[in-house]
Structure 1
């Protein structure tokens, strides 16, 4: 079983999951691939016809022909598992750990093996985001989970092991330290100024306009004033909502 361990020096929780080392690997060589990948790969566990190579799906979006357009399945090589005890235990007078309880899901975004997210239509992208939203809300119904993280790796350097377009959803019983720091900073700003730091950020970015990438009725996309890395981009809801699950 996976395990969550806390570093006593930093208070950070880390996941120890040896099963992750067994996951399949499309990128076995540092040599770049010369040919473009095909639209279907017989050996890919995410391609149509290979549904038996994944755990049973927890959600499916089907087209008018009955065939799937998006699938959500438990990660076969999960970092966290649903069973276990969420009590935080002391392994000694110094170290703390707990069972690696949580959920780790894969969103297979399209039947096509060779389409990147940036190549998808707006309709298709919205379909995927709606899946994120639905699973986010459903996972939060489990009172053990305190954080839902949705992420998408792109390329081997970012951690992708399979080419087929997919993203991942992880539900955990702990809130990571860097997230707690952001929440605490937002709380302090509210205590000091009496209003939401993100609402104020939107107000200032709309006024200055220099870093606004895109804006519509409900969202604004910005390059942060103090970006940590090149091309860092924030998508902010213009509705005052606390979580992704509360957005409409």
Structure 2
């Protein structure tokens, strides 16, 4: 009988954050690719686009003109998925047919007035400004009595459904705690009540001891490929100190958070020497006015690229009918990312 090798043999891994399993099939990464290849854009974007509805001073579809902003710029989404108005519903409910009205506020955050700039190409001061804006919006939206969760996220690249290349992210604040966050909260709470310790605090300490999946770290944060990662180059930023949300960060931690965001996004771009697409999002304490000692601040990055700038991972077939599956092992993808330069490939110093 062969000895198990996690870079060669199929196996399942447990995700303690969501109480789910994933199938890992590392031997499949050797198979030839004859599937779909995504178009890779080689067009250089201008610093200002008069047709872009996110650029400074430009008019949006509803006639509102953007401010002449110089760093971040926030406005309520013109095509919001959630509405703030309260509605009353008296429809009879049943076990099989349940629904309820959902209130919320959607906002757009422009990261910079420069149309052709992305986070890995920004300086640390610019990224710090984004974090400070996230913090301010978390406080403002979370203070509303009907908002119980504030989801901050970014979709980067057309492959992730981003309809405008201008550097921006979104915030969806709503009256319910969404499904993925609720799963995470349940797991964090169960672990905290059992051990009186943060699940992610203990997880990060063990990852730092093993050093198998660490991509980079600084004094306050770690970026790693999770043991249970689904996407080929998925990463997780976790604070070394146990705290729940952006409001509890020190100024040193804000700077360190900016540094670690820049580090991983630069490595992403360097991997295939392209503007690397991803969906990223912050998971932090709900704003439901309850105590949440179980929550530990973290940020997910879910990039779809698999083996080049034009080949992506699809979630189909078994993944839709059975469970999530990945080919390259998390240890191998962490090694690849770890060994990449921290200097952006477009600079002369690369």
TM-score range, shorter chain: 0.7 to 0.9
Q: Quick one: which of 20, 41, 45 aligns to 1:37?
A: 45
Query: TM-score under structure 2 normalisation?
Result: 0.55
Structure 1 Cα separation of the partners of residues 63 and 207 of structure 2: 45
Q: Which residue of 1 aligns with 2:165?
A: 163
How is 1:1-248 mapped onto 2 (pairs within 5 angstroms)? 33-50=41-58, 67-85=69-87, 90-93=91-94, 94-248=96-250
Q: Which runs of no fewer than 5 residues in structure 2 stay unpaired? A: 1-37, 251-350
Query: TM-score under structure 1 normalisation?
Result: 0.76
Contact map agreement 1:55 1:74 (CA 8 A) in 2: no
TM-fit CA distance, 1:209: 1.8
Structure 2 Cα separation of the partners of residues 192 and 52 of structure 1: 51
Q: Which runs of no fewer than 5 residues in structure 1 stay unpaired? A: 1-29, 61-65
Structure 2 Cα separation of the partners of residues 208 and 127 of structure 1: 34
Greater displacement, 210-219 / 31-40: 31-40
SS across alignment from 2:72: strand
Aligned residues: 212
TM-fit CA distance, 1:192: 3.0
SS across alignment from 1:68: coil
TM-fit CA distance, 1:202: 1.6
Structure 1 Cα separation of the partners of residues 69 and 168 of structure 2: 18
Distance 1:88 1:133, change over 3 A: farther
Structure 2 Cα separation of the partners of residues 105 and 54 of structure 1: 15
Distance 1:243 1:56, change over 3 A: farther
Greater displacement, 234-243 / 69-78: 234-243
TM-fit CA distance, 1:214: 2.1
Structure 2 Cα separation of the partners of residues 42 and 78 of structure 1: 24
TM-fit CA distance, 1:224: 1.0
TM-fit CA distance, 1:149: 0.6
